[in-house]
Chain A
Amino acid sequence: GQQLNQSPQSMFIQEGEDVSMNCTSSSIFNTWLWYKQEPGEGPVLLIALYKAGELTSNGRLTAQFGITRKDSFLNISASIPSDVGIYFCAGQRLKGSQGNLIFGKGTKLSVKP
């Protein structure tokens, strides 16, 4: 089946550092989504990307839709303790009018104050 390769699997960083994570696939996607999930909660949508090459920011977060449509990255600048959580990428592919969402395995982020 379709798979997304998300890396790194986990990160342990110092507060104030920048963070970068990415997802790659052998398949083309129409949309890339980035979610954050904290313990006891559902995934929260951070950024949605719809066009190849698109670069979108949401506060300290920046994400890009790769030119080949097979990859995306998420950067977090100047990390703070509340950035802790699991970050999931998700690729969405249109099959006819149906949007099938594929999740990466997640990047667990730990921030040391």
Chain B
Amino acid sequence: DTEVTQTPKHLVMGMTNKKSLKCEQHMGHRAMYWYKQKAKKPPELMFVYSYEKLSINESVPSRFSPECPNSSLLNLHLHALQPEDSALYLCASSQDWSNSPLHFGNGTRLTVT
């Protein structure tokens, strides 16, 4: 069982919808991440939060909006997505944003219709 919990597990949304992905960890980790993974590809980094502050935005379109309400929670707000945004969205956390390994959740399988 993963210690990083993501909800929902599956999400289908239209291009005009607004939805949010949620991630939670209670390991006391101070760095949290959003990754996007297409089929048969490695995860691609989207955002890094370190101590609840956005530290990296890998040129992600503004239709993806991250939020870190506290040290245990990470959200990804979605609006006006495109079909090509369909993918597995993975949340990860690590003790801090340095040399500590990342622990991943099981992801949200997103389909944009």
Q: Which residues of A contact B (CB under 8 A)?
A: 30-31, 33, 35, 40-45, 48, 50, 86, 88, 90, 92, 94, 97-99, 101, 103-106, 108
Contacts and interface: CB of A to CB of B under 8 A. Distances in A.
Contact of B97 (A43, A44, A86, A98): A98
B97 A99 contact: yes
A81 to B, nearest CB: 21
Contacts of B97: 97-99
A30 B42 CA distance: 20
B107 interface: yes
A99 B2 contact: no
Contacts of A30: 99
B41 A31 contact: no
B53 interface: no
Which bucket holds chain B's interface residue count? 20 to 34
Contacts, number: 61
Contacts of B103: 45
Nearest to B92: A42
Contact of B107 (A31, A41, A104): A41
A99 B55 CA distance: 11
B45 interface: yes
Nearest to B4: A42
